[in-house]
């Protein structure tokens, strides 16, 4: 899973530990709620996060990954899913 964030921001700084073999594990959650139908779903992805390498950059830029937050979001981060969970939400 790839997402975009700000260069120099907290995620960028956390991934630049400078320590060999250290992985920063993160969780990324997406929820979709339909208030009219009173239902929805939620997906949680957990795993190590890494900067996209220069070799990988053309592939992710060609895939059309866009940031969901405003502002300058030029840094690409990849999460390698080690755990994926989901749930359906009913009768909100």
Could you read off the pLDDT of 29-52 as tens digits, one per residue?
Answer: 999 999 888 999 999 999 999 999
pLDDT tens-digit readout, 2-22: 999 988 888 888 888 777 777
Question: Model-level pTM?
Answer: 0.77
pLDDT at residue number 23: 86
pLDDT, residue 64, reads: 82
- Closest to 24 (Cα-Cα) out of 53, 51, 57, 5: 51
Residue recorded with tokens 């990954």: 65
pLDDT confidence of residue 63: 87
Q: By residue range, what is the domain housing residue 74?
A: 2-90
**Percent helix, strand and coil across the chain, each to the nearest 5:** 15, 45, 40
pLDDT, tens digit, 9 for 90 and up, residues 50-92: 999 889 989 988 888 888 777 778 899 999 999 999 999 887 5
pLDDT of residue 92: 58
Distances (CA, A) of 70 to 1, 53, 73, 77, 78: 20, 23, 8, 17, 19
Which three-class secondary structure state does DSSP give residue 61? helix
**Total domains present in the chain:** 1
């Amino acid at each position: 899973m790839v997402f975009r964030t700000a260069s120099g921001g907290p995620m960028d700084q956390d991934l630049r530990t400078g320590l060999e073999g250290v992985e920063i594990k993160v969780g990324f959650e997406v929820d979709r709620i339909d208030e009219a139908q009173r239902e929805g779903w939620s997906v949680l992805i957990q795993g190590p996060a890494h900067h996209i390498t220069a070799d990988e950059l053309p592939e992710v830029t060609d895939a059309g990954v866009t940031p969901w937050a405003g502002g300058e979001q030029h840094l690409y981060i990849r999460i390698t899913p080690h755990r994926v969970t989901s749930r359906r939400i009913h009768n909100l």
